[in-house]
Amino acid sequence: MGKASQIKDKRNANAVVEAQGSARERLKLYQRAPANGLVVFTGKIMDENSTTEKKLICDFEPFKPVNLSIYNCDSRFYLEELKKELLINEPPFGFIIVDGNGALYATLQGNAREILNKFTVELPKKHHKGGQSSVRFARLREEKRHNYLRKVCEVAAQTFITDNRCNVNGLVLAGSADFKNDLNKTDMFDPRLQTKVVNIVDVSYGFENGLNQAIEKSAEALANIKFMKEKALISEFFDHIAIGDGMVIYGVQDTMKLIESGAVGRIVCFEDLDYIRIKLKNSETGTLSTIYVRPNQATNAELYKDKDTGATLEQVDEPNEPSSLPEWLAIHYKDFGCDIEFVTDKSPEGTQFLKGFSGLGGFLRYKIEVEHLINEAAEYEEEDDDFI
């Protein structure tokens, strides 16, 4: 607030200080910081029904952890980083940090990490003195190490296996001694987890500090796993198209129609798909309908007329719904009983999916002989040259 009071334009300075004051008062309602962080928007906006300004303040705890701190003062609310944090569906990866002091189990999804379990152990050190007892001490030491390794394997299975399946896309083993290598080689390690091991790294510390170091050292390996999974997903989609088995759908209009009918089991969506969702109401019959168009097409007057009756269609405001189609799908995909996979254009397959199939498609629950419900040329005319 001290810096804001130094703004040369007094009107701007007063507006910023007032907004900061509103935010400070709202923060007094919180006894402690929410577990997932806190988002606060505050300022003044123009009232739609008059030329006067009205105060606006919005605060909420996001549904996923937000691991960044931003203070931004502008003529608009800054949402880019928030959308990137909350809407991108990153696959989860598991981490096991194991050394002579104990073990830690955690997951990493996006940049949000979660510690699921940890325990400590006291193992006997090597016995350096000679005599008849040295063999006995060595045997006891090996036995305790074996029991410790068994417990690490048992807790790993309890943590990373759900409904008889591994619940992470990859597993990283890390530690400062040989325990991580012994864990990977032992027959006690569940085979369902062993096949998911994507990296084994040396770290200087154990527990939380070792986890931070393991995440940093495994960044490249995890990125490659995500990249390969994305390529495999889109290649599977293309295989269905090639054999023409009627088990996939593509194109924004057709895909959305089948999603709404409940026929799609898994959605494949380009993460930056440039389509918006507009809800319309027939002024004569009161019937509601939804259209999906590019932002530059939203001003086309033909969209707001009923093709059969010529009646005017009025746009219905949905204050709690995002207009962006990918954002809307990220929130509502479970309402249709399906899963969603977001892909990028960083691979040749991803680029082809975007250019040739409009960036939105889906795997169907059952075979459908789909005659395109729209004029294909109208949807793909911008991409034809690039696709060819």
Residues 209 and 99 in one domain: yes
Residues 200 and 291 in one domain: no
Residue 225 lies inside a defined structural domain of this protein? no
Residue 343 lies inside a defined structural domain of this protein? yes
pLDDT level of residue 225 (50, 70, 90 thresholds): confident
CA-to-CA distance for 178 and 172, rounded, in angstroms? 15
Residue 176 lies inside a defined structural domain of this protein? yes
Structural domain including 37 reads 4-87
- Angle in degrees, CA 81, 269, 164, rounded to 5: 95
Residue 183 lies inside a defined structural domain of this protein? yes
Taking a C-beta distance cutoff of 8 angstroms, is the pair 328, 321 a contact? yes
Q: Residue 125's domain is classified under what CATH number?
A: 3.30.420.60
3-state secondary structure of 215: helix
Residues 79 and 96 in one domain: no
- pLDDT tens per residue, range 30-71: 988 888 889 999 988 777 666 777 888 999 888 877 778 888
Residue 354 lies inside a defined structural domain of this protein? yes
Q: Residue 304's domain is classified under what CATH number?
A: 3.30.1330.30
Boundary of a domain, candidates 217, 245, 263: 217
CA-to-CA distance for 267 and 157, rounded, in angstroms? 30
Taking a C-beta distance cutoff of 8 angstroms, is the pair 185, 197 a contact? no
Average pLDDT, rounded, for the chain: 84
- pLDDT tens per residue, range 146-182: 999 999 999 999 999 998 889 998 899 999 878 899 9
Residues 261 and 374 in one domain: yes
Helices 325-332/80-87 angle, 10° precision? 40
Residue 223 lies inside a defined structural domain of this protein? no
Taking a C-beta distance cutoff of 8 angstroms, is the pair 298, 313 a contact? no
Strand 197-202 versus strand 171-175 pairing type:
parallel
pLDDT level of residue 89 (50, 70, 90 thresholds): low
Which of the 8 DSSP states describes residue 324? B
Residues 129 and 183 in one domain: yes
User: Sheet containing 248-250: which strands, arranged edge to edge?
Assistant: 248-250, 360-364, 264-270, 339-343
Taking a C-beta distance cutoff of 8 angstroms, is the pair 174, 95 a contact? yes
Residues 249 and 370 in one domain: yes
Residues 159 and 177 in one domain: yes
Q: Token match 């060595």: residue?
A: 138
Residue 305 bridge partners (DSSP): 312
Decide if pLDDT at 374 tops 50: no
Residues 191 and 178 in one domain: yes
Which token pair is 147? 């029991």
Domain count of the fold of the chain:
3
